[in-house]
A and B are shown apart, each in its own frame.
Chain A
Amino acid sequence: MALATRPDRRPTVVRTVWDSTLGKKTIMAVSGLVMLSFLVVHMFGNLKIFFGPGTFNGYAHWLRTVGEPFLHYEWALWIIRTGLVVAVIAHAVCAYQLSRRDLRARPVGYAHRKARASYATRTMRWGGVILGLFIVWHLLDLTTLTVNRNAEPGHPYENVVATFHTWYGDVIYIVAMLALGLHIRHGFWSAAQTLGAGSRTRDRVLKATANGLALVLTAGFIAVPVGVMTGIVS
C-alpha cells in the first residue's frame, strides 16, 4: 500500500534549476566561465600577431585543421563556435530574465538616493549589453568581414591591421575591452560565489584572481590595436 505520508513528488532538477533565481544564476556562472576560458585562449592566439604575418596566419590556418584527420577541416572550430553561441544565449537570456525580475522586486525607489556598490558591480547589466553588441560587430568585422573595408578572406593578419587603421575600429574595440575587464572583475568572483566555491579564507584569492584575469585580458586584448596604432604591427 502506498504511504499516505509520502511527500509530494518534487519537480525535476531541470525544472527546479530553470524556475529558480539560483538556478538561473548557476547557468550564468557556468556559461560565463565557459566564455572566460575561451577568452583566455583567444587572447593568447591574438598575441601571436606580434610575431609577424607568417606566425599569425599560420595559427589561424591551424585552428581550422585542429582534430584532423579525426575531424574534418573546420569541424573543431564549428563545434567550439556552437558551444560559445549556446553559452552567450544562455547567459543573455538568464541575465534578461533575472534583470526583469530584479526591477519588478523594487518597484518604488528611495527618495534619498545614494551611490551603491562598486562601479564594476553597477555596470554589469549595461556592460553586458555593450559586450553583446560588440560581439556582433566583432564577428561582422573580423569573421564575416562584412563591415571591414579592405579586408580579404584568408588574410587574418592583414585584416586585423586594416580594422585597427580606422579610428572607429580602435575606439569600439578599446571601449569594449574596458567593459570586458569590468564585467570579468565582478563576474568571475560572483560566479565563484554562485557555484558555492567562495569561502572566508578563499575570498582574497578569488578577488585577486578576478582582478588579475580582468587586468591581463583587458591589457592582452588592447595590446593588439595599440600595437597597430604605434606601428609595431603593420
Chain B
Amino acid sequence: MKLTLRVWRQKDTRAPGAMEEYDVDGVSPDMSFLEMLDTLNERLTLEGADPVAFDHDCREGICGACSLVINGDAHGRERTTACQLHMRSFRDGDTIDVEPWRAAAFPVVRDLVVDRSAFDRIIQAGGYVSVPTGAAPEAHATPVPKAAADLAFEHAECIGCGACVAACPNGSAMLFTSAKVNHLNVLPQGAPERETRVLDMVAQMDAEGFGGCTLTGECATACPKGIPLMSITSMNKEWLRANRKVSRN
C-alpha cells in the first residue's frame, strides 16, 4: 500500500506547529497504524530528519498511551486504540490526517505527544480508596453484589487514554472522570469516600480547564473501551447526591 500522511509537526509546547505531508510506501495491510508510523520514522531517521514523536507503550490496546486523531477520529474510525487499528482499514492511495489530542488541558509536548498529567491530578483528587496497610484482608470479608461488581468492572475498563476529551467539541473530561468515579462509587470499598470522591474529582476536572458537558455523545462514540454515555448521568446523580449529603453535615 502507498499512502500520503499529513502529520502535525510541532517542536515543543510553545513553537507553532503545522501539518506536514509525507509519502509512505510499502505499507502492509497487516501493519498496525503505529507500525506504519514506525516505517515512516525509520526512513526519516535514515534521511537525517526528525522522526515523528508519538506516544505508545503496550501496543495491545490496554495501556492507554497511544493518542492519535486519525482523519478527525480519536484512535481512528474503529472502536479500538490506534495501536490496534490496522492498515487494512484504509485503502491504497489514501490520504490520512494524523493529529494530536486537542484540548487546552492537554498541551502538545511535541508533534503528536500531549501532556495528560491533568488526568493524573483528577485521579489524585479522589480516584482511590483509602485502606489500612498491613496483611491482605480476607477476600470474602466484604461481599460485593454481582451487579455492582459488573458495573464497577465496566467503568474500570477505562484506560485513561483521553480519546473522550479529544473527541468532545468542548474538550470535556466528563466521560473519563465519570468512569473513574463510578468504578469506585458502586463498590462497598469505595463507600466511605463516596461523597468526597465525586466532589473533589469534579472540582479538579474543572480546575484543569476542561470544558463542560453538552451531552453530544462524541466521547462515548470515540471511547476504545466502550464506556457508556450513561456513565456521565450516573456521575451527575452522584454529584447531586454528594452535595445534598455534605450540606446536611
Interface residues of A (CB under 8 A from B): 7, 10, 12-13, 16-17, 19-22, 24-26, 98, 101-114, 116-117, 121-122, 124, 186, 189-190, 192-200, 203
**Given A16-B199, A105-B172, A199-B233, residue A111 in contact with residue B99 (CB < 8 A):** yes
Please tell me the number of chain B residues within 8 Å of chain A, measured between CB atoms. 48
Q: Are A198 and B212 in contact (CB under 8 A)?
A: no
Q: Which residues of B contact A189 (CB under 8 A)?
A: 215
CB of B124 within 8 A of chain A?
Answer: no
From B69, B169, B236, B237, give the contact of A102 (CB < 8 A).
B169
CB of B75 within 8 A of chain A?
Answer: no
Q: Are B211 and A101 in contact (CB under 8 A)?
A: yes
Q: Which residues of B contact A20 (CB under 8 A)?
A: 202-203, 206, 239
Chain B residue with Cβ nearest A199: B230
**Given A10-B199, A109-B102, A124-B214, residue A198 in contact with residue B233 (CB < 8 A):** yes
Q: Which residues of A contact B243 (CB under 8 A)?
A: 13, 16-17
Q: Which residues of A contact B56 (CB under 8 A)?
A: none
19 A-B pairs, CB-CB below 8 angstroms? A10-B199, A13-B247, A19-B203, A21-B211, A21-B213, A24-B212, A25-B212, A102-B172, A103-B211, A105-B105, A105-B172, A105-B209, A109-B102, A112-B71, A114-B73, A121-B214, A190-B215, A192-B233, A200-B228
**Given A112-B69, A193-B233, residue A22 in contact with residue B209 (CB < 8 A):** no
Count contacts between A and B, CB distance < 8 Å: 131
Besides the contacts A111-B6, A198-B230, A200-B230, what 18 more A-B pairs have beta carbons closer than 8 Å?
Answer: A10-B246, A13-B243, A13-B246, A21-B213, A25-B212, A102-B170, A105-B105, A106-B170, A111-B97, A112-B71, A112-B72, A114-B71, A192-B233, A194-B236, A198-B233, A199-B230, A199-B233, A200-B228
B242: min CB distance to chain A, Å: 9
4 tightest A-B CB contacts, nearest first: A196-B237, A105-B211, A105-B171, A102-B170
CB of B82 within 8 A of chain A?
Answer: no
Task: Name the interface residues of B151-181: CB closer than 8 Å to any CB of A.
Answer: 168-172
Q: Are A106 and B103 in contact (CB under 8 A)?
A: yes
Interface SS of chain A: helix
CB of B216 within 8 A of chain A?
Answer: yes
From A103, A105, A199, A203, give the contact of B103 (CB < 8 A).
A105
A121 to B170, CA, bound (A): 13
The contact string, 1 if C-beta is below 8 Å from chain A, for chain B 210-249, is 1111111110000000001010111011111101001100
Q: Are A196 and B102 in contact (CB under 8 A)?
A: no
Q: Which residues of A contact B170 (CB under 8 A)?
A: 101-102, 105-106
Find the residue from A10, A13, A106 having the highest chain B CB count within 10 A.
A106
Q: Are A195 and B240 in contact (CB under 8 A)?
A: yes
Chain A residue with Cβ nearest B95: A112
CB of B149 within 8 A of chain A?
Answer: no
A20 to B69, CA, bound (A): 29
The contact string, 1 if C-beta is below 8 Å from chain A, for chain B 130-168, is 000000000000000000000000000000000000001
B115: min CB distance to chain A, Å: 14
Chain A residue with Cβ nearest B216: A117
A114 to B77, CA, bound (A): 12
A114 to B222, CA, bound (A): 14
Find the residue from A16, A20, A22, A25 having the highest chain B CB count within 10 A.
A22
A189 to B212, CA, bound (A): 16
Q: Which residues of B contact A105 (CB under 8 A)?
A: 103-105, 170-172, 209-211
Q: Are B169 and A106 in contact (CB under 8 A)?
A: yes
CB of B63 within 8 A of chain A?
Answer: no
A9 to B126, CA, bound (A): 16
Q: Which residues of A contact B238 (CB under 8 A)?
A: 196
Q: Are B169 and A195 in contact (CB under 8 A)?
A: no
Chain A residue with Cβ nearest B242: A16
Q: Which residues of A contact B128 (CB under 8 A)?
A: none
A186 to B214, CA, bound (A): 9
A199 to B228, CA, bound (A): 11
**Given A114-B72, A198-B233, residue A104 in contact with residue B104 (CB < 8 A):** yes
CB of B19 within 8 A of chain A?
Answer: yes
Q: Are A117 and B206 in contact (CB under 8 A)?
A: no
A197 to B234, CA, bound (A): 9
